[in-house]
Amino acid sequence: MASSKRTGKGKTRSGQQGKRAAPRRRAAQREPQRSWRRRLAGWALRGVILALAIGLPLVVAWAWYLDERVTDRFGGALFTLPATVYAAPDEIYVGQSLQIDQLVASLERLNYVASSSVEETGTYERRGNQVAFHRRGFAFPDGKQPGRRVVARIVDGRVVELDDPDGNDVGIIRLEPRSIGTLYPNRTEDRVLLSIDEVRENAPLLLQTLLAVEDRAFYDHGGVVPTAILRAFLSNLFTDQVQGGSTITQQLAKNLFLTHERTYRRKFAEMIMALEMEWHYSKDKILEAYLNEVYLGQDGNRAIHGFGLAASFYFGRPVSELAPEQIALLVAMVKGANYYNPRRNPERALARRNTVIDVMVDLGLVDQTRAADWQARPLGVLERAGSRARHPAFVDLVRRQLVEQYDAEDLHTRGLNIFTTLRPRVQAALEDSTENLDEIEAGRGLEKGTLETAGVVASVSTGEIEAMIGGRDTHFDGYDRALDARRQIGSLIKPAIYLTALSRPAEYNLITELADKPVAIEQKGSATWKPENYSGTFHGPTPLIEALAHSRNVPSVRLGMAVGLDSVADTLERLGAPRPSPFYPSMLLGSMTMSPFQVAQMYQTLSADGFVTPLRAIRSVVDQQGKELSRYSLDVRRAVDRESLYLLQYGLQTVVREGTSTRLNQVFPAELNLAGKTGTTNDGRDAWFAGFTGSRVGVVWVGRDDDRPANLTGSTAALPLWAATFERLDIQPRDTTPPRGVRLMPVGPDRQVVLPERCAGERIPFIAGHVPEAAGTCSGEPAGNESTGDGGFFDWFR
């Protein structure tokens, strides 16, 4: 038993030892795990240290790089500004021929608003035969003109009084010019720059509303609000709602330098750049940049940036004239310009605008009563986008004339102001004339939309282009037919033939007999050419003036061949038209091609008494500071002598009085002395009319782009558009006083003989010293065969 007890005691001690050894064994077993974790922690610590050692300099370098981008952008020109193109300003003066409706139309083209009061600029009130308006201020090349209230009284289509509110005579006043286009680079980004001081003074509600909606603590934070970022992060993480949490400074950093991708890297860069902008620049500078950079819509391929351009694009008005609800709409669109587009999504835009007005109430910017009134108003945006590319054909001409003097970079980045010659009233009349094409197509059995057109109207005295269209769709910015469509000109060439002949007074005058009989002309490399008259008949001996007036082909060809092709080519060149080379006989009937612009240059010389004045679209170029960089002065030279041209002008006046353009007599009084020429090409493919008054010359072409037969004539297709244009204009009669060196002599009724000066009848001009011998009697009989008493009282003194 003793043995047994010892054994038990031994087992007991052994068990106790086993129990003490178990933790040691477990600890020994855990030791490799602890060692591995310690090693892992060590590696992690070393990784963090290494990452900091490597990453921190990289972050610093990245921040440095971002800072360089910020300072480079803000240190130079923050925005590249396209050149802005302006029309000529409408002028109003006492004695002017002007209808009240025309004046109102001029104001409404500038988006003046009818009002019962004209206290604010950009408003007008019509009362009976008076129109009161408050002109906007504008910086013209010759100085800044302030806003001004004016009352115009118009009686029987003429301005009889032009006074200010105190009754002082104004005499003459200029409206501000209309912006008609911009010249911008491929980036197609556009804006109208605003200064923070300008907005603070003239549109303080815009600043207050913008900050209330987008960044209430803008003037208190340092560019980033961590709590807002954390709140937005948690919302985006745990809910379906997307929140930005970005300050105005962060938004500006994103818009100026970064993409719109939703990544943490982009957000981190945005925060760094926002802090850097706040470090370097004042709050006002940052806010000013935001006002001009924020994206507010799209006009085709042109991005609308900034509140300045958006005010014009949506409302046709400067920021200073915006109503409170209009300001609220623009601020509402900051959240998503395309999503809240008031033209495409008006209900959505209205709801968002009214939400912004509610915010204005919450912050005490407006009381509830006025806010309710604003919320009840319609959006009020222009039905048609306030695009500044209003007259693309004309702006295309401006661009082409500018590149002769300015680099493309200057036109796209320096914010130049281009003051042009375009007259809004004339342009509107020319554009509206295209409505006649529907009737012309119907009359010719053509499908609607088949015909195209182009037209140019210029000043006789200065060569300034007052209007131009490049197609039926006058707002389409594409193929410019006025400049680029080379079409056969038909009979428009004939004045050059007749002028060449009349410049030889010893050989030709207006009553010189021309043969109108069949003729065959050999042409090198082609079959014998046998021209015919449009009517298909021959008229025998024809006075030169009648051959011109009725546009007879055969006598015109005979005359051209007689004076010589080279001589006719010389005349064309002197008139400003391109010289045909080689010059084939068939070109005497206008188979040569010219653009409407080139034809306008030729006929401008014919209308300007033989002085060539290169057609121009630009008056001056001014930089952003108001300094005039270029003034486009007149470049005038005499091309043909005044006397022979006077004879030709008389012939072109006869074209209207009794020839191919007599339809104009149904529209215009004879005392205007209109002159012009029709042109028609084979199979009626091209129809032309070129005509001039005392102050303007106009050219219209009508035809098909595919050059297929259209059965058109100049008198039935192009002339109606010319007449529709000029009918709406203030037309000055042509001065038909003959120059020295020209004598007016009576001629017989058949225009074949000169009568004694005492005789009655049509008096035709002749160059002095080259007047044919007069007949002996007023009946046209030769001297010696006169009957007594035929000459009346003067027979006693023969």
Active-site residue 633, yes or no?
no
Residue 13 has pLDDT above 70, yes or no: no
Q: DSSP labels for 447-506?
A: PTT--EEEEEEEETTT-BEEEEE-SSSTT--S--HHHH--EE-GGGGHHHHHHHHHT-TT
Pairing of strands 302-305, 189-191: parallel
Residue 57 has pLDDT above 80, yes or no: no
Q: DSSP labels for 116-135?
A: S---STTEEEEETTEEEEEE
Of the residues 246, 312, 459, 491, which is catalytic? 491
- For residue 477, the model assigns a pLDDT of 84
- For residue 279, the model assigns a pLDDT of 85
Residue 21 has pLDDT above 60, yes or no: no
| Tally of CA atoms within 13 A in the half-sphere of 559 that contains its CB | 36
Residue 759 has pLDDT above 90, yes or no: yes
Q: Range with the lowest mean pLDDT among 51-55, 616-620, 713-717?
A: 51-55
* Chain center to CA of 668: 30
Confidence of residue 794 (pLDDT cuts 50, 70, 90): very low
Predicted TM-score (pTM) of this structure: 0.83
Residue 260 has pLDDT above 80, yes or no: no
Give the percent of the chain with pLDDT over 90: 64
- For residue 626, the model assigns a pLDDT of 82
Residue-wise pLDDT for 696-743, tens only, equals: 999 999 999 999 999 999 999 999 999 999 999 999 999 999 999 999
The identity of residue 151, as a single letter, is V
- For residue 765, the model assigns a pLDDT of 97
Residue-wise pLDDT for 111-159, tens only, equals: 999 998 899 999 999 999 999 999 999 989 888 899 999 999 999 999 9
Average pLDDT, the chain: 86
- For residue 422, the model assigns a pLDDT of 97
Contact 82, 389 (CB under 8 A): no
Task: Kindly report each contact of residues 158-163 with a partner whose C-beta sits within 8 Å and lies 24 or more positions away, as own/partner.
Answer: 158/95, 158/96, 158/97, 158/98, 159/92, 159/93, 159/94, 159/95, 159/96, 159/98, 160/94, 161/94, 162/92, 162/93, 162/94
Mean pLDDT calculated for residue range 296-310: 89
- Pairwise CA distance, residues 391 & 87, whole Å: 10
Active-site residue 214, yes or no?
yes
SS3 151: strand
Residue 239 has pLDDT above 60, yes or no: no
Mean pLDDT calculated for residue range 14-29: 52
List C-alpha distances in Å: 574 to 111, 493, 567. 44, 13, 11
Mean pLDDT calculated for residue range 25-37: 53
- For residue 112, the model assigns a pLDDT of 94
Sign of the Cα pseudo-torsion (101, 107, 109, 115, in order): negative
Q: Range with the lowest mean pLDDT among 16-20, 405-409, 572-576, 671-675?
A: 16-20
- Pairwise CA distance, residues 29 & 34, whole Å: 10
Pick from 160-174, 512-526, 729-743 the range whose average pLDDT is largest.
Answer: 729-743
Residue 19 has pLDDT above 80, yes or no: no
Residue 43 has pLDDT above 80, yes or no: no
Residue-wise pLDDT for 380-414, tens only, equals: 998 865 554 689 999 999 999 988 887 777 777 67
Residue-wise pLDDT for 441-486, tens only, equals: 999 999 999 999 999 999 999 999 999 999 999 988 889 999 999 9
Mean pLDDT calculated for residue range 509-533: 91
- For residue 42, the model assigns a pLDDT of 54
Confidence of residue 49 (pLDDT cuts 50, 70, 90): low
Of the residues 106, 176, 179, 214, which is catalytic? 214
Residue-wise pLDDT for 626-652, tens only, equals: 888 877 777 889 999 999 999 999 999
- Name 305's bridge partners: 191, 295
Residue-wise pLDDT for 64-105, tens only, equals: 666 677 677 777 667 777 888 999 999 999 999 999 999 999
- For residue 6, the model assigns a pLDDT of 43
Backbone angles phi, psi at 300, to 5 degrees: 65, -120
